[in-house]
Amino acid sequence: MTRVRRVVIAGGGTAGWLAAAILTKQVGAMVEVTLVESEEIGTVGVGESTIPTVRAFHALLGIDEREFVRATGASFKLGISFEGWSREAERYMHSFGKLGHSTWMADFHHFWLEGRAQGVADELGAYCVEHEAARGERFAGGQDAALNYAYHFDAGRYARYLRERCEADGLTRVEGKIARVERDGESGDIAALIMEDGARVEGDLFLDCTGFRALLIGDALGVGYEDWREWLPTDRAIAVQTTATGPAVPYTRAIAHDAGWQWRIPLQHRLGNGIVYASDYLSEDEARARLLSTVTGETLIEPRTIRFRTGRRVKAWERNCVALSLAGGFVEPLESTSIHLIMIALTRLLQLFPFDGVSEAAAARFNDMAQREVEGVRDFIILHYTLNQRDEPFWRRMRDMPLPDSLATRIALFRESAQAFQASDELFTVTSWVQVMLGQRLMPDTHNRLARMMPPGRLQQTLGQLAGQVAGAVRGLPVHQAYLDRM
């Protein structure tokens, strides 16, 4: 086996520069890291919304939050507001916090369901600090409050911020376009990237961050793609940036329309806007017009169309190549998981790093974990679509389609007994599943009756105390925009 002493990252953008940042920080003393990118090739770069795992990865990179927020125009995020997903006029919040207090026998939502049956429970969100803080547009981070939060940020500024850190740490960056990928005649592994100017960039391990083109994992190595359009038929997005017209709110908005949904992401200096749609149900001209008719503020760039195919690469790690981000697959950005999937892949790569040579067993382990996690994300996103009560053709199709067995079983379990779970290799928590299933009007037939053992009035008293504690904690938080201004 060839020892890995040279790592070549093909492509920049968020994926490439995150890879460069973590490799130079964690193993830069043992391997030489080179990043190849062209200033002429644009990046998709619409992923401006994250989930709380980003903070743990930033800690590995030694990133100072205040520095990062200033450099990227970031705001804070406590959840996602889903508007019109069950019915047009309804809205619910998928927040990042925990619900109430659970016991080893039953999660909190069982007690809430019993309280609801007895007429003594408030809305579910009243028992979650992050939910109520988001709704009240309040926030405090860092050492000021124990909230579970993520960020909205400018993807272009983020890549530049990471690049500056990497180059200061000694990373080698090669400017130019890749003309072809050269493979070793004996092993079949990738040997080098041949640039348009004839230069050769040799390496022992290659990371494919070339986006949907997948120049290494797809074109050169021929790894196939598993298509998920039968469950997620949305295949287009149009993105546009506009000036901010009001205070930044601490949540992402996901607003359903008759053929998909729109996003609104508030940054310090602007708004990120976009429309996701299925081209079988809406034309590009119609989607563009709809997006521009609903945005606020002045447009800062020309709207940009992105075509995609939801699915995953059959193998994320093949031979001496690891695919990251769009090169390895794509699950639409509904739950802001794209950047997380890059970060968790890089974390696993470091844990399995092939210093002494690529191991088939390690690659198989990496691929197995990657598959299970992305399939869990896929199921969670399908959940939002299939549990709808809208009456347009697109939404009827989503409601009536056959589901992956893994999701159908989970829905049946919750419908019959209010049981929700998070497997050890899954991203989304019990609270996340519960908030979305109840938010989409999936009411269970029954629930754990443990709360009935409480003395008369005890459940009402306990729920009241919990809601009071949440309300008190939220009242003590500053307004989100004021917190940003102070930073």
Strand order in the sheet with 225-227: 225-227, 311-313, 329-330
Dist. CA 45–CA 59, nearest whole Å: 23
Triad 86, 87, 91: Cα angle to 5° = 75
- CB hemisphere CA count around 336 (13 angstroms): 29
What angle do the packed helices 155-168 and 65-72 form, to 10 degrees? 130
DSSP 401: S
Dist. CA 401–CA 382, nearest whole Å: 10
**Contact present, 375 and 316 (Cβ < 8 Å):** no
Measured in whole angstroms, the distance separating CA 440 from the mean position of its chain's CA atoms is: 20
- Residue 260 phi, psi dihedral angles, 5° rounding: 155, -130
Determine whether 465 is exposed, middle or buried from the number of CB atoms within 10 Å of its CB (0-12, 13-18, 19+). exposed
What angle do the packed helices 13-26 and 53-61 form, to 10 degrees? 50
Dist. CA 330–CA 52, nearest whole Å: 20
Catalytic residue among 77, 98, 177, 315: 77
Dist. CA 166–CA 9, nearest whole Å: 13
Strands 329-330 and 260-266: unpaired
Q: Which of these, 38, 335, 7, 343, lies nearest to 213 by C-alpha position?
A: 38
Catalytic residue flag (residue 77): yes
Amino acid at 432: S
Q: Which of these, 237, 267, 71, lies nearest to 163 by C-alpha position?
A: 71
Q: How many other CB atoms are found less than 10 A from the CB of residue 66?
A: 11
Q: Which of these, 46, 431, 433, 77, lies nearest to 253 by C-alpha position?
A: 77
Dist. CA 83–CA 353, nearest whole Å: 42
How many residues can be counted in the chain? Answer: 487
- The token pair that represents 423 in the structure block: 């497997």
3 state SS of 301 = coil
**Which residue numbers are catalytic?**
77
